[in-house]
């Protein structure tokens, strides 16, 4: 499994899954969430409304993930995850780690071979991008080790996933992720 970081627009990535840093309502918002909804088209909002009506009437909890089709996106699927909001006192790094691991689990269940993540919770939710990079890359490396050993610390087998890409909007965010990727052997969620 290859892990990489690039600067760019997550909505244009040619991968099987893009991860949406959603809010718990699943009904769109600003930042990455708004960009993904705009690029996917109105069908994405309709699919999210159906999820709210049937499966998540109280909203998607922080740290969890759920998939919808990608509709107008190049990606076949969107995996929506709700990061912890530091401004609301949600400062538990294990919840942020769960956003990354649950998204990987859902991608594997879908049969995806590639996934692109934004810097979950690093925007309006107030997390320092260096912490997001440490946690996100740490989870990806645990999964990478699981590919080599055949299991990933109690997670479903990550076999089949060839690429984990972090797509960052700014040069500063890219730098934080590149620094974390350059630190060999660091498996620190």
Task: Kindly compute the dihedral angle of the four CA atoms of residues 116, 120, 123, 127, in this order, to the nearest 10 degrees.
Answer: -140
The yes-or-no answer on residue 175 being catalytic is no
Alpha-carbon distance of 47 to 71, in angstroms, equals 10
Reference 3, options 153, 142, 175, 157; nearest CA is: 142
What distance in Å separates the CA atoms of residue 5 and residue 176, rounded to the nearest whole number?
10
Catalytic one of 9, 14, 16, 33: 33
- Listed in sequence order, the residues at least 6 apart from 148 whose beta carbon sits closer than 8 Å to its beta carbon are none
Integer CA distances (angstroms), 12 to 17, 111, 163, in order: 11, 20, 16
Q: Which of 53, 24, 19, 56 is nearest to 36 (CA)?
A: 19
Please give the structure tokens belonging to residue 64.
Answer: 């969890």
Catalytic residue set: 33
């Amino acid at each position: 499994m290859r892990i990489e970081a690039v600067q760019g627009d997550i909505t244009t990535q040619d991968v099987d899954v893009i991860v949406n840093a959603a809010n718990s309502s699943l009904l769109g918002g600003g930042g990455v969430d708004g960009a993904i909804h705009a690029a996917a088209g109105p069908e994405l909002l309709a699919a999210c409304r159906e999820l709210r009506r049937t499966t998540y009437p109280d909203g998607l909890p922080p740290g969890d993930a759920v998939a919808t089709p990608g509709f107008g996106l190049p990606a076949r699927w969107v995996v929506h995850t709700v990061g912890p909001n530091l401004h609301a006192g949600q400062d538990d790094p294990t919840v942020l780690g769960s956003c990354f691991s649950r998204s990987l689990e859902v991608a594997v269940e879908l049969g995806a071979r590639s996934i692109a993540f934004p810097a979950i919770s690093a925007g309006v939710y107030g997390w320092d991008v260096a912490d997001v990079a440490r946690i996100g890359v740490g989870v990806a490396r645990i999964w990478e080790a699981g590919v080599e050993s055949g299991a990933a610390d109690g997670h479903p087998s990550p076999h089949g996933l060839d690429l984990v890409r972090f797509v960052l909007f700014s040069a500063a965010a890219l730098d934080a992720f590149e620094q974390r990727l350059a630190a060999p052997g660091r498996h620190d969620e």
